[in-house]
Amino acid sequence: MSGAVTRVLAVARKEFIHISRDWRMIVAVLILPLMQLLLFACAISFDVRNVPSVTLDLDKTVASRDYIDAYAKSGFFQARGTVSNYAGIDRAFEAGQARVAIVVQRGFGAAIAAGHAGQVSVLIDGSEPNSAQLGQTYAVALNQTLGRRALAAWADAQGLGTVKVGRLEPRIRAWYNPERRSADFLIPGLMIVIIMIVTVQQTSVTLVKERENGTLEQLLESPLTHSELIVGKVLPWAALGVFDTIAITAVAMLVFGIPLRGDITVLAVGIALFIVCALSLGLVISATMPSLESANVTALLVSFLPGFMLSGMAFRLESVPVPLQVVSYLFPARYMVEIARGVFLRGASWGLLLPQIGALTLYALVALGIATTLNRGRTGERTVPLQLVLAARRRLTERVRAHVRAGGRGSAGDRP
């Protein structure tokens, strides 16, 4: 085994010992990521079901009751009762008891019986835009369906024989996510954000701790080089990142039922490169920040906010402003989220995800080089003063020993 490998493994062993001695660190690295996945996956959902709604039936006919029942049977709207006037709708909206109000105008049944359009109103609480948009879309689609059925029933009653008339019946099928579960879309990206937070947050304080404890310069006084120090610091956290990834992936598949349709080797290579990228980003922060507090705050801002907002985890990047789309290329989570969703949901293989793999490889090499360069420049500023201090301490020690051997005699200038 070469000397460089021995020195790197020695640094890695030292880092493992520091981690194992602090039970709080073990909890933060191994337990908290799983808790975050469970918490965020259950709390964050774009699925909109059982939207609370109230009804106002001003017609009070069989046709109006059938129309209102169609909303209740759809599964999208949840009936919360009826109101007697428009003021009741206002009170329901203000109290948060309903987000949608269905109003059937007078003369609805007579108009339907005559083959005319019945007058209805769908009022939507727009304070929650996602539910409002989906509620509007579903209400329009439901009214179109009911309108076609009513027209066909009226035509049949008139003996027009609509059975022989050709109709368009579109059959819509959702690929990759037939049930349209938001968890299938969110969790692969959420896994990447959690791994990024853990790796960047922990490695961002490693070099800062060494500097504050005065051990970084002592390490570099040994035959250990800057590159060997960086690699030795990265190895333990890379191993823990791999363990976190395996545990999070197992929870996502077993607990939330996320499918794994693609090539697992693509996912493994992408995760390995992504972990190196995230660790290198943390080392860049650690090499530039002057204190533990500043390193922690910077790591949180760099890992969580861009990982959540600029990775495509929750929002498609095409919908954000163009300058932010450009900034998103500076963070590795953007590429890894595409790889994770491609492998988990779309069954993507090497041919489709090779550009993202190449981007992560380039990112890892550049980030490691920047971290090594910044660390070399930072420690170089303090190496010369430390050498002077050590030399002065040796001279002082020699003078004290000489004074002791002389029995305390000598001139005043020789006394320490």
> What are the tens digits of pLDDT across the range 319-336?
788 888 888 888 898 999
Separation between Cα atoms, residue 298 and residue 92, nearest integer Å: 45
Burial class (CB in 10 A: 0-12, 13-18, 19+), 72: middle
Low-confidence spans in the chain with pLDDT less than 70: 1, 45-49, 75, 115, 128-174, 214-222, 224, 377-394, 407-416
Strand 100-104 relative to strand 77-82, pairing: unpaired
User: What is the distance, to the nearest Å, from the Cα of residue 245 to the centroid of all Cα atoms in its chain?
Assistant: 14
* Residue found under tokens 């988990």: 344
Separation between Cα atoms, residue 352 and residue 339, nearest integer Å: 9
The pLDDT, as a whole number, for residue 274 is 92
Distance (Å) of CA 165 to CA 71, 112, 152, 325: 28, 20, 10, 50
Tell me the per-residue pLDDT of 149-180, one tens digit each, with 9 for 90 and over: 665 565 555 555 555 544 555 666 667 777 77
DSSP 163: G
Evaluate whether 213 touches 366 at the Cβ level (below 8 Å). no
Break the chain into its structural domains and give their ranges.
3-43+181-391, 51-164
Q: What is the pTM of this model?
A: 0.69
Tell me the per-residue pLDDT of 10-22, one tens digit each, with 9 for 90 and over: 878 877 887 777 7
State the architecture of 51-164 in CATH terms.
3-Layer(aba) Sandwich (3.40)
The pLDDT, as a whole number, for residue 167 is 54
Tell me the per-residue pLDDT of 36-81, one tens digit each, with 9 for 90 and over: 788 877 777 666 667 788 888 888 888 778 777 877 777 677 778 8
**CA 353, 355, 356 angle in degrees (round to 5)?**
70
- Determine the residue type at 163: V
Structure tokens at 14: 């030292």
The pLDDT, as a whole number, for residue 15 is 79
